[in-house]
Structure 1
Amino acid sequence: MTATDTAAPPEKRPARQGGGPWGTLVAIAFGVMMVALDGTIVAVANPAIGADLNATLAELQWVTHGYLLGLAVFLITAGKLGDRYGHRKMYMIGVVGFVAASVAIALSSGIVFLVAFRILQGLSGAVITPAAMGLLRASFPAHKLGRAFGVFGSLIGGATAAGPIAGGILVSTFGWQSVFYINVPVGLAAIVLGLWLLAPNRATDAASRFDLPGVILLSVAMFALVWALVEAPVVGWTHPETLVVLAVAAVFGVAFLLVEQRVADPLLPLGIFRSMSVSIGTVLMILMALGLMGSLFFVTFYLQGVHGLSPLQTGLQLLPLTATMAVCSTLAGRLMDAVGTRIPTAVGLVSAAAGLLLLSQLSPDTGTVFISAGFVLLGAGLSVVMTGATAAIIGNAPVAYVGVAAGVQQAAMQLGGSLGTAVLGAMMSVTIATTLPGHYTDAGLRAPSGEELTAMQSIVTQGGALIPDGASAAVAAATTRASNLAFMDGMHLAFLTAAAVMALAAGLSLLMKPAPRTEEPVMHI
C-alpha cells in the first residue's frame, strides 16, 4: 500500500508523538468498535424495545434507520471538521457524544425520543470514524499504512460479527437498555486511552473557511437519498413519495456539485477525484458494501426463515464469514504493504464473486459445510477489497484533505449497504411475486390472487410463509415449501447479480495506479 501527497512535501514529525503508531491504533480501537457494534447489536434488542415501549414495526425500523441516517448524512462534513480543527479533538468529541447519546437512549421512555437519540448517536459515530482514519494516516509511515487499515478493518469486522451474539446475551440477561449502557465502559476506555496515547492535536487545513452552503446541500442530498433507499422497498419504487424524495436528492446533489466548483474552500474538494485510485476506490467501496450488506441481509432471512435457526444459531453460522473478514483484513494489509493494492484487490473481488456464486446455489436443505465454504470465500474476498479500497482512497488523497477522504470512504460504504438491501431486495420481491403462484400450483395448492399475493409477498421475502387459518399439517407443509422455493428463486437472482457486479469490479480495480513509496510519514495532526 502506498500513498502520495500532492499538496505538500512530507513533513517531519513533532517531538512528541503520544503512543506512536501502534499506540494510536490501540487508542482508537475502542471508539471504532463501539460505532461498528451499535450497527448490529440493536437488531437483537428490537423485539424487547417494541414490547417495552409499545412501538410499531415501522417505528422499530427507524431505531436502525435513524442511526444509519445520522451516520450517512454527516460523515463527509465530520471529516472536513477534522481537517480544519484536528482529528484528535474531533475523535474525543465524537466519543463523548456517542456515550452521552447511548445513555439518553437507554433512559428513553418513549420510542420517539429513542429514535431521536439514535440519530444523535449516528451523528457522533460519523465524527469518530473519519477522525480515527485521519489519526492512522498521521501516525503510520506510507509503507505500513496497508497494515494499519487492515487492522482497522479487522476491528470493524470483529465488532460487527460480535453484535448479534453480544446483543442476545445482554438483552436476555439485563434487558434491552444494556446494549446501550455497554457503551459507557467502552467509551470511557476510549477517552482515557485517547488522552494518554494520541499525539497533540493539529489541524491539516486550519486556514480554510467553513463551506456552510455545501454542508446544507450535501446533507439534504444524502438524507433524501438514504431515506429513499430505506423506504422504497416498503412503499414501492414508483410510489410518489419515493420519486419525490429521489428528485430532491438529485436536485440538491447537482446543486452541491455546482457550488463546490465555485467556492474558494469547498466542503468536498472535487479535485481529489482526479486521482484514478481515489475515484476507483470509492466505487469499489460502494460495490463491496453492496455485496456484503445485501448478502448478509438476505442470508439472515434464509438461515432463520427457511432453515429455522435461532438468532444465536444464525450468528454462529455466520462466523465463517465474519471471522474470515476479521482475520483476512490484517493479512491483506500486510500483503498490500509488500506488493501494492491493485492485484490483491482484484483477487479479492474474484474471491467474493466466487463466494456469491456458490451461495446462489443454496437450497432449503443445503448443509452447513457448503454454506460455510461460500461464506469463507465471500469473507476473504470482501476483507481484501475493503482494505484495498480504503488504502486507495485515503492513502492517495492530499494530506490536507485526509479527513474528507475518510468521510468519503465511510459514506461510500453506508451508501453501498443501503443500495445492497434496496436494489437486491427489489429484485427478490419481483422474482417472488412472479414465481410464487407457480410453486403453489406445483404443490397442489390454489394459486394466490392479486390481493393475496401482495399480502404474501412481504412475508415470503423474509423467508416466511402465510399459513391459512385452520390449515391441515399437509397444507401447511406444502405452503411452507412453495414459499421457501419462491424465496430461493429471488435469493438466487440477487446473489447472481451481486456476483456479476463483483466480477466487473475486479476488472475496474486493475485500473488503479500504484503510487511511489516513501519512508516518511505522510502527515501529522
Structure 2
Amino acid sequence: MTSKSTLTLSKEPAEPAAPRRTGFRGHPWLTLFAVAIGVMMVALDGTIVAIANPAIQQDLGASLADVQWITNAYLLALAVSLITAGKLGDRFGHRQTFLVGIVGFAAASGAIGLSGSVTAVIVFRVFQGLFGALLMPAALGLLRASFPAEKLNAAIGIWGAVIGASTAAGPIVGGLLVEHVSWESVFFVNVPVGVVALLLGLVILLDHRAEHAPRSFDLPGIVLLSVSMFSLIWSLIKAPLWGWSDGSTLGFLGAAVVGFLLFVLWETRAREPLLPLSMFRSAALSAGTVLMVLMAFGFMGGLFFVTFFLQNVHGLSPVDSGLRLLPLTGGMIVASPLAGALITKVGPRVPLVGAMVLTAIAMFGMSTLDADTGTAVTALWFALLGLGLAPVMVGATEVIVGNAPLEHAGVAGGLQQAAMQVGGSLGTAVLGAVMASRVGTTLPERWQRAGLPPLDAKAEAGLTSAAEVGYVPPQPKGTPAGVVERITDVVHGSFISGMGLALTCAGVVAVLAAGVAVFTKGGENGNGGPSVHL
C-alpha cells in the first residue's frame, strides 16, 4: 500500500526523479491493473473478430476479399505504426498516448458496430489498428517507468498472462456473442471496457518523462519505415495467393528490402532518429528482438493450422475449438507470473533457453497429431506449448524494454510488438507455403491410391486449395457414402501431412530460437527514477 512504501534514492541517478505519486496515482501495481484493462481490449480483439467474419459476410453481403480486408486492414495499420506510436509516447508521455489510444480504439469499435457497409467496417478497422498501436508500446513504457528493475519481470509476467488469456478467450467470447447476440456486439463490447480503462487511467496513471526524451520528429524516418513495413507485411499476406515467385510478391519484398536499407542509412544521419540504431549495440536487446520474431514465427504460424485441424478435421465449432485450446491458455496464465519471478531471480538466459526447448518439444509433439488423436493428447501438447511460450513472452519483452534507455522505452515497446507482428506474418506465410507444397504433392498420390476417379486440372486445384485448410467440399447429391468417406480420408490425410511438416519446421525454428536465447541477459538500464520498495 502507498502508506507502507518507502523510497530509496540512488546516489547518482541516471535521470531526474520521477514525478511524486500521491494516493492511487502512480502506484506501480495499480498502474499495471489499469494498463492491463486496456491491453486486454486490444488482445481480445485480435482473435474475437475472426469468429464474427462469417456473420459480417452474410449480413453485409461482403465478398471473400472484403472479409480478408477486415483482418488485413487492421494488421497492416497496427504493424506499420507500432514503432512510430512508441516514439509518440516517448515524446508526449506514455500516459497521454495510452489514454488517446483507449478513446480512439473504443470509438472505432463502436463505429464498426454502427456501420452499415463492409467498406465502413474496413475503414474503421484501420483506425482500430492505428489506435491499438498507440496502446501497446505505451503500456510497456508505463510499466518500464513505474516499476524498479527488480519488480519489472513480475509486472511483465502478469501483463503477459493477461494478453495470453485475452487472446485465447477471443474465439470463445466471440462465438457466444455472435451466436446469442449479433456480430455487432463483438465490437460494441469494447466500448464499456474502454470507458472503464479510461476512467482507471485518468485516476491511476502517472506521466513519466525522461530527461533526454525526444523533442522533434524524424518525418523521413517515419515515412521510410512505414513504407518498408507495409511492403513487407503486404507481401507476406498476399504471397500465398500470388505465389512466392510472382512478380508482385517479389516487387513488394524488394521494395521492403530497399526501404529498410534507406531507413538504416537515414537513421545514421538523423539528428533525432525514429529508431536509434545505437540501441542495437546491446547484444541482449538485439537477441531479444530476434527471439521475439522466431517465437512468433513458430507460435502464430503453427497455431494457424491447429485451429483448422480442430474445426475442419475434428468437426468442432469455433467455441468448442476455443475450449479445446484452454490448456494452452492455462499454461500461459500459470507460467507467465512464475516466469517473471524466476527470471528476476536467475536472469533470463536459462529460463528462455529452457522455454524454447520446451516449445520445440511441444511443436514436435503437435506434428504427430492426426484425425484419431484424443483430447488428452492434444491437451498435453497444448499445455506444454503454453508453459514454453509464456517465459519467452515475458523474458524477451523484458530483455528488449529493459535494455533500452528510459527515453526510448516507447520505441522499445513498439519494437517488441513489431517483432511479434513480423514474426507472426512471416510464420503464417512461410509455414503456409510449406503446407501448400506438401498438400500439392501428397493429395494426388493419396487420391490415386484411394481408387477415386481422375480429376481435371481445375477440380484438382480447387480440391487442393480446400485441403490446405482441411476442408472437405460438399459432394454432388447421390454420391455413394463410401466414396464420400474416401474423399474425406484423402483430404484430411493430406492436410495432416502438411500440418505435420509445418509444425516440424516450427519446432526447428524453436530450436534455433533456443540458441539465440543464449545471448540474452537482463535489462542494464534502470527506470531512471528512485527505486521503489513495494
- TM-score greater than 0.5 by the shorter chain: yes
Is there any run of 5+ residues in structure 1 with no aligned partner, and where? Answer: 1-6
**In the alignment, what sits opposite 2:20?**
15
Does the CA contact (< 8 Å) of 1:233 and 1:422 recur in 2?
A: yes
Does the CA contact (< 8 Å) of 2:295 and 2:513 recur in 1?
A: no
Q: Do the aligned partners of residues 111 and 137 (structure 1) sit closer, same or farther apart at CA in structure 2, a change above 3 Å counting?
A: same
Query: Which stretch shows the higher mean deviation, 140-149 or 468-477?
Result: 468-477
Does the CA contact (< 8 Å) of 1:105 and 1:180 recur in 2?
A: yes
SS at match of 1:309: coil
Query: Which stretch shows the higher mean deviation, 131-140 or 463-472?
Result: 463-472
**In the alignment, what sits opposite 2:174?**
167
How far apart are the structure 2 equivalents of 1:396 and 1:516?
5
Task: Kindly state the Cα deviation for residue 405 of structure 1 after the two structures are TM-superposed.
Answer: 0.5
Does the CA contact (< 8 Å) of 1:358 and 1:374 recur in 2?
A: yes
Give CA-to-partner distance per residue, 1:425-448, whole Å, 9 cap, x none.
Answer: 110001000010111122121354
Q: Is residue 2:444 matched to residue 1:452?
A: no
**In the alignment, what sits opposite 2:492?**
484
How far apart are the structure 1 equivalents of 2:256 and 2:125?
23
Task: Kindly state the Cα deviation for residue 449 of structure 1 after the two structures are TM-superposed.
Answer: 4.2
**In the alignment, what sits opposite 1:4?**
none
Q: Do the aligned partners of residues 522 and 281 (structure 1) sit closer, same or farther apart at CA in structure 2, a change above 3 Å counting?
A: farther
SS at match of 1:9: coil
Task: Kindly state the Cα deviation for residue 175 of structure 1 after the two structures are TM-superposed.
Answer: 0.7
How far apart are the structure 1 equivalents of 2:378 and 2:83?
37
Does the CA contact (< 8 Å) of 2:439 and 2:498 recur in 1?
A: yes
Does the CA contact (< 8 Å) of 1:148 and 1:333 recur in 2?
A: yes
**In the alignment, what sits opposite 1:31?**
38
Q: Is residue 2:508 matched to residue 1:503?
A: no
- What count of residue pairs does the alignment treat as equivalent? 519
Task: Kindly state the Cα deviation for residue 468 of structure 1 after the two structures are TM-superposed.
Answer: 4.0
SS at match of 1:464: coil
How far apart are the structure 2 equivalents of 1:31 and 1:136?
13
How far apart are the structure 2 equivalents of 1:519 and 1:254?
32
Query: What is the percent sequence identity of the aligned residues?
Result: 52
Q: Is residue 2:227 matched to residue 1:220?
A: yes
**In the alignment, what sits opposite 1:3?**
none
Task: Kindly state the Cα deviation for residue 57 of structure 1 after the two structures are TM-superposed.
Answer: 1.1
Q: Is residue 2:497 matched to residue 1:493?
A: no
Matched AA of 1:354: I
**In the alignment, what sits opposite 2:258?**
251
Give CA-to-partner distance per residue, 1:18-62, whole Å, 9 cap, x none.
Answer: 141101001111110011011101111111111111001111011
Is there any run of 5+ residues in structure 2 with no aligned partner, and where? Answer: 1-11
Does the CA contact (< 8 Å) of 2:146 and 2:527 recur in 1?
A: no
**In the alignment, what sits opposite 2:273?**
266
Query: Which stretch shows the higher mean deviation, 512-521 or 80-89?
Result: 512-521
What RMSD in Å do the two structures reach over aligned CA positions? 1.9
Matched AA of 1:64: T
- Among 314, 317, 324, the alignment partner of 1:317 is 324
Q: Do the aligned partners of residues 516 and 213 (structure 1) sit closer, same or farther apart at CA in structure 2, a change above 3 Å counting?
A: closer
Q: Residues 229-248 of structure 1: matches in 2 within 5 Å?
A: 229-248=236-255
Matched AA of 1:114: V
- Among 361, 366, 376, the alignment partner of 2:383 is 376
TM-score (structure 1 length as normaliser): 0.95
Q: Is residue 2:354 matched to residue 1:347?
A: yes
Does the CA contact (< 8 Å) of 1:149 and 1:391 recur in 2?
A: yes
Matched AA of 2:275: L
Q: Is residue 2:57 matched to residue 1:67?
A: no
Matched AA of 1:414: Q
- Among 442, 445, 448, the alignment partner of 1:438 is 445
Matched AA of 2:519: L
**In the alignment, what sits opposite 1:83?**
90
How far apart are the structure 2 equivalents of 1:180 and 1:518?
39
Task: Kindly state the Cα deviation for residue 207 of structure 1 after the two structures are TM-superposed.
Answer: 4.5
Q: Do the aligned partners of residues 517 and 248 (structure 1) sit closer, same or farther apart at CA in structure 2, a change above 3 Å counting?
A: closer
Q: Is residue 2:187 matched to residue 1:180?
A: yes
Does the CA contact (< 8 Å) of 1:205 and 1:401 recur in 2?
A: no
Q: Do the aligned partners of residues 24 and 204 (structure 1) sit closer, same or farther apart at CA in structure 2, a change above 3 Å counting?
A: farther
Q: Is residue 2:371 matched to residue 1:364?
A: yes
Q: Do the aligned partners of residues 379 and 426 (structure 1) sit closer, same or farther apart at CA in structure 2, a change above 3 Å counting?
A: same
Does the CA contact (< 8 Å) of 1:205 and 1:400 recur in 2?
A: yes
Give CA-to-partner distance per residue, 1:256-308, whole Å, 9 cap, x none.
Answer: 11111111110000110110111000011011111111122100100111111
SS at match of 1:502: helix
How far apart are the structure 2 equivalents of 1:422 and 1:283?
18
SS at match of 1:30: helix
How far apart are the structure 2 equivalents of 1:272 and 1:481?
53
Does the CA contact (< 8 Å) of 2:144 and 2:527 recur in 1?
A: no
Matched AA of 2:65: A
SS at match of 1:266: coil
Q: Do the aligned partners of residues 519 and 75 (structure 1) sit closer, same or farther apart at CA in structure 2, a change above 3 Å counting?
A: closer
Task: Kindly state the Cα deviation for residue 466 of structure 1 after the two structures are TM-superposed.
Answer: 3.4
Does the CA contact (< 8 Å) of 1:289 and 1:414 recur in 2?
A: yes
Matched AA of 1:165: I
Q: Residues 30-49 of structure 1: matches in 2 within 5 Å?
A: 30-49=37-56
**In the alignment, what sits opposite 2:100?**
93
Task: Kindly state the Cα deviation for residue 451 of structure 1 after the two structures are TM-superposed.
Answer: 3.0
Does the CA contact (< 8 Å) of 2:360 and 2:508 recur in 1?
A: yes
SS at match of 2:476: coil
Q: Do the aligned partners of residues 247 and 519 (structure 1) sit closer, same or farther apart at CA in structure 2, a change above 3 Å counting?
A: closer
Task: Kindly state the Cα deviation for residue 16 of structure 1 after the two structures are TM-superposed.
Answer: 2.1
Task: Kindly state the Cα deviation for residue 515 of structure 1 after the two structures are TM-superposed.
Answer: 5.2
Task: Kindly state the Cα deviation for residue 150 of structure 1 after the two structures are TM-superposed.
Answer: 0.6
Query: Which stretch shows the higher mean deviation, 246-255 or 30-39?
Result: 246-255
How far apart are the structure 2 equivalents of 1:94 and 1:518?
26
Does the CA contact (< 8 Å) of 2:363 and 2:507 recur in 1?
A: yes
How far apart are the structure 1 equivalents of 2:433 and 2:267?
34
How far apart are the structure 2 equivalents of 1:289 and 1:202?
31
Give CA-to-partner distance per residue, 1:408-462, whole Å, 9 cap, x none.
Answer: 0000001111111111011000100001011112212135444332211221011
How far apart are the structure 2 equivalents of 1:76 and 1:147?
24
Matched AA of 2:496: M
Does the CA contact (< 8 Å) of 1:8 and 1:399 recur in 2?
A: no
**In the alignment, what sits opposite 2:3?**
none
Q: Do the aligned partners of residues 304 and 522 (structure 1) sit closer, same or farther apart at CA in structure 2, a change above 3 Å counting?
A: farther
Give CA-to-partner distance per residue, 1:352-376, whole Å, 9 cap, x none.
Answer: 0000010011111101111111111
Task: Kindly state the Cα deviation for residue 472 of structure 1 after the two structures are TM-superposed.
Answer: 1.1
**In the alignment, what sits opposite 2:7?**
none
Q: Is residue 2:143 matched to residue 1:131?
A: no
Does the CA contact (< 8 Å) of 1:171 and 1:178 recur in 2?
A: yes
Q: Do the aligned partners of residues 180 and 451 (structure 1) sit closer, same or farther apart at CA in structure 2, a change above 3 Å counting?
A: same
Q: Do the aligned partners of residues 392 and 462 (structure 1) sit closer, same or farther apart at CA in structure 2, a change above 3 Å counting?
A: same
How far apart are the structure 2 equivalents of 1:508 and 1:383?
17
How far apart are the structure 1 equivalents of 2:322 and 2:93?
38
SS at match of 1:264: coil
Task: Kindly state the Cα deviation for residue 237 of structure 1 after the two structures are TM-superposed.
Answer: 1.4
Task: Kindly state the Cα deviation for residue 104 of structure 1 after the two structures are TM-superposed.
Answer: 1.1
Does the CA contact (< 8 Å) of 2:291 and 2:513 recur in 1?
A: yes
